[in-house]
Copies of this chain bind each other. A is one copy, B any other.
Amino acid sequence: MTVHFLFCHEIFVVMAQSTSRPRAVVLVSGGMDSAVVLALAREQGFDCYALSVAYGQRHSSELEAAARVSQALTADIDVPEQGGAGIPVTYVPARNTIMLSIALGWAEVLGADEIYCGVNAVDYSGYPDCRPAFIEAFERLGNLATKAGVEGHALHVRAPLMRMSKADIVREGMRLNVDFAATVSCYNADATGRACAHCDACRLRADGFDAAGVSDPTRYV
């Protein structure tokens, strides 16, 4: 299963390469959830095209560090250290819509009928664009928006982690031999990927590994 990486600033420059396997575009953030999704899509037999979109995230990661991408979508938002009610202040306006739209364009260029993303409704219930209804609406839109839809072969938007807890995701990653040490979850990670241990993302991750009874390889500052 070949995995191709593409960063947003190069999109539409890379054209389809010949392959006999069906293709899937996979949104990859550098965090643990999308790492599991990528492993799942590979397990399904897809030739995976991983798409990483830099929008000025506060945290770096193995993947993002490799991408010297434009600051096109920089959002100036404070990163909270504690959770709260309602919509988290880490919410970035229309982020998932924009990233899925770019994935949709790439999927069309590649002739891929599958888009995979790590959207999850359990731990991110405060984000409007992490709801099942949002993914369903995007799939419907994608089929109306593109040649694929006009030509009759259906586009699918897959969010296989949608209803999993963080512990479920850890267990699924262990089953798929995901290298969790290569992933970074922290909103405040330093340049080498060391985590702060205090932000929402660090706490969710640590709790998930605890609940799964798995040792977390995260390096802390």
Binding site for B on A (CB under 8 A): 8-9, 11-13, 15, 55-56, 70-76, 87, 91-98, 100-102, 104-106, 108-109, 128-129, 131, 133-134, 137-138, 140-142, 144-147, 149-150
16 contacts between A and B (CB under 8 A): A12-B76, A12-B93, A13-B74, A87-B147, A87-B150, A93-B109, A95-B105, A97-B104, A98-B105, A100-B101, A128-B147, A128-B150, A129-B145, A131-B144, A137-B140, A140-B140
A104 and B93 contact, CB distance less than 8 A: yes
B105 and A101 contact, CB distance less than 8 A: no
Known A-B contacts A94-B108, A98-B105, A133-B144; the reply to A75 vs B12 at CB < 8 A is: yes
Known A-B contacts A72-B8, A128-B145; the reply to A94 vs B105 at CB < 8 A is: yes
Q: How many copies does the complex hold?
A: 2
Q: What is the bound-complex CA distance between A88 and B74, given in angstroms? A: 34
> Of the candidates B73, B98, B100, B144, which one forms a contact with A128 in the assembled complex, judged by CB atoms under 8 Å apart?
B144
A70 and B73 contact, CB distance less than 8 A: no
Chain B residues, Cβ within 8 Å of A145 = 94, 96-97, 128-129, 134, 137
Known A-B contacts A72-B8, A76-B13, A98-B101; the reply to A141 vs B150 at CB < 8 A is: no
Q: What is the bound-complex CA distance between A142 and B128, given in angstroms? A: 10
Chain B residues, Cβ within 8 Å of A97 = 101, 104-105, 141-142, 145
> Of the candidates B91, B96, B108, which one forms a contact with A147 in the assembled complex, judged by CB atoms under 8 Å apart?
B91
Q: What is the bound-complex CA distance between A22 and B73, given in angstroms? A: 24
CB distance from A94 to the nearest CB of B (A): 3
Known A-B contacts A73-B12, A137-B137, A141-B134; the reply to A146 vs B105 at CB < 8 A is: no
CB distance from A161 to the nearest CB of B (A): 18
A128 and B141 contact, CB distance less than 8 A: no
Q: What is the bound-complex CA distance between A106 and B92, given in angstroms? A: 11
**A135 nearest CB neighbor, chain B only:** B144
CB distance from A35 to the nearest CB of B (A): 24
Chain B residues, Cβ within 8 Å of A12 = 55-56, 73-76, 92-93
